[in-house]
Structure 1
Amino acid sequence: MTGPRPAAVPDGRRAELAEGLAEVRARIAAACDAAGRDPGDVTLIAVTKTFPASDVRLLAGLGLTEVGENRDQEARPKAEACADLPLTWHFVGRLQTNKARAVAGYADVVHSVDRARLVTALSDAAGRAGRTLRCLVQVSLDEPPPQEGGGRGGAAPSAVPRLADAVAGAAHLELGGVMAVAPLGADPLPAFARLAEVAEAVRRDHPSATVLSAGMSGDLEEAVACGATHLRVGTALLGGRRAIVR
């Protein structure tokens, strides 16, 4: 008796990812239709935390080349394993200053800039690597706002303009816009509406900072309704989190 063909597992996984991608694309299209927006103005980022580099390759084959990672220890080997692919790597997790040099070596966009010390660390690291990093200011939508370095990260809305100025003025960084995560257990719609106001204020001083990164698997519709340009989707696209990255 012969066993299953070795190609059966990756073929099956490709079908799973294709189905997940189609469903997420349909949700985005419906949300854009409800908001009177063009789906082409919304970028989908596949957050591949805990999933293997083989999934990144399959997604790239399906046409999804924006990849997000939360942790440097996972992101670096995946970026190396997929260096032959035309991918854009987004670092979307909390970032410690001592990891700035590593992240600056492979990330194209850092979504989680929330303090001045990180601006300095990333600019210095990008300069040493001969690169320019696109950075987003992470905005805390929690009430009350966290102390610097606390909670899930993010700068208080009142601190965002000064931090945006610092990113824009850094030698090796480019200000892309803002990012936020909806507060736990709260209605995401008013939170994302506040984020849209912060984003508009940043654009008044920095017209090219057009990115509004908001919305994940459970709240992408609310994010689209409030003007999100980038959605960070993991579970709805790839399935439940896996314990081991292969």
Structure 2
Amino acid sequence: MTDRKDELAGNLAKVEERIAAACAAAGRAREEVTLVVVTKTHPANDVRILSELGVRHVAENRDQDAAPKAAECSDLPLTWHFVGQLQTNKVRSVVGYADFVQSVDRAKLVTALSKEAVRAGREVGCLLQVALDAGASGRGERGGVAPGGVEELADLVARAPGLRLDGLMTVAPLSGTYAGRELAAFERLMDLSTDLRRAHPAANMVSAGMSADLEQAVAAGATHVRVGTAVLGVRPRLG
């Protein structure tokens, strides 16, 4: 356990140095960027250690992993983010523990989230996942709404009982116009955020950047970076 704590502390320190350096390079205050540690497939013990080390935001992408882990760690002062593609049949479970759902990408999901949030007496923060690589289908290969659909979906979330429109999220595209151009992709997300805030001024969260490209996300103006591997190491293989 001590070895694992030392390992995570060392990794966290390196990530913290990277974020601080990126903020300095961009002329931003370190406080402007929130680190969200993606704990998917790692055990609850790791989450507990991260909490001891001062981490306050953790993220999961699979409900079947997240629900028992969140229950086991319910005594910790953590904010839980759900970042994976979310099927409507998992919404009731996710609303039970997630403070934020960062992967809202379609009207049907908004309706389901709203219904379950009201039923649970909770307010769930929502980020619209934007697919910058959206093709003719209007969705990206990792889910998400096309840039042209952001305004309509945002209005739907803003009107939905039990939900709070908090901002936008993206994953750097692997194909299309922005493949290999992470900074350009994140700058495009910031432009969309500026547009969104004209109608919804409080929706100021911008979640972008992961272990490999957090510097580009900070440079573009992201408020939240989602880091897994750089903190926790390579994920155990799922059975």
TM-score interval for Structure 1 and Structure 2 normalised by the shorter chain: over 0.9
Shift of 1:141: 1.1
Distance 1:155 1:90 in 2: 19
Distance 1:181 1:127 in 2: 29
Distance 1:53 1:177 in 2: 28
Distance 1:146 1:180 in 2: 17
- What residue in structure 2 maps to residue 173 of structure 1? 163
Q: 1:50 aligns with which of 34, 41, 46?
A: 41
- Gapped regions of structure 1 (runs ≥ 5): 1-9
- What residue in structure 2 maps to residue 119 of structure 1? 110
Distance 2:91 2:137 in 1: 22
- What residue in structure 2 maps to residue 225 of structure 1? 219
What letter matches 1:171 in structure 2? P
Shift of 1:135: 0.3
Mark the CA change 1:37 to 1:135 in structure 2 (over 3 Å): closer, same or farther. same
What letter matches 1:151 in structure 2? E
Distance 1:82 1:146 in 2: 39
- What residue in structure 2 maps to residue 202 of structure 1? 196
When the two structures are aligned, how many residues end up with a matched partner? 235
Q: 1:81 aligns with which of 72, 75, 78?
A: 72
Shift of 1:146: 4.4
Mark the CA change 1:25 to 1:175 in structure 2 (over 3 Å): closer, same or farther. same
Shift of 1:109: 0.2
What letter matches 1:128 in structure 2? R
Shift of 1:244: 5.5
Deviation readout 1:29-79 (Å, 9 max, x if unpaired): 000011000111100001001100000000000000201000000000000
Distance 1:78 1:61 in 2: 16
- What residue in structure 1 maps to residue 173 of structure 2? 183
Deviation readout 1:90-134 (Å, 9 max, x if unpaired): 000000111111111110000000001100000001111110100
User: 1:147-162 alignment to 2 at 5 Å?
Assistant: 147-148=138-139, 151-162=141-152
Distance 1:217 1:34 in 2: 18
- Gapped regions of structure 2 (runs ≥ 5): none
Q: Is the 8 A contact 1:44 1:66 kept in 2?
A: yes
Distance 2:158 2:81 in 1: 19
Determine helix, strand or coil for the equivalent of 1:178: strand
Shift of 1:187: 1.4
Shift of 1:143: 5.1
Deviation readout 1:125-161 (Å, 9 max, x if unpaired): 111111010000110011536445x621010001001
Determine helix, strand or coil for the equivalent of 2:215: helix
2:66 is equivalent to residue 72 of structure 1 = no
Mark the CA change 1:146 to 1:193 in structure 2 (over 3 Å): closer, same or farther. farther
Over alpha carbons, which structure has the higher Rg? 1
Q: 2:14 aligns with which of 15, 23, 28?
A: 23
What letter matches 2:14 in structure 1? E
Q: TM-score, normalised by structure 2?
A: 0.96
Distance 1:96 1:138 in 2: 14
Distance 1:139 1:147 in 2: 10
Q: 2:231 aligns with which of 219, 232, 237?
A: 237
Determine helix, strand or coil for the equivalent of 1:136: strand
Deviation readout 1:214-243 (Å, 9 max, x if unpaired): 000000000001110001000001111112
Q: Is the 8 A contact 2:134 2:145 kept in 1?
A: no
Distance 1:27 1:41 in 2: 14
RMSD after superposition: 1.3
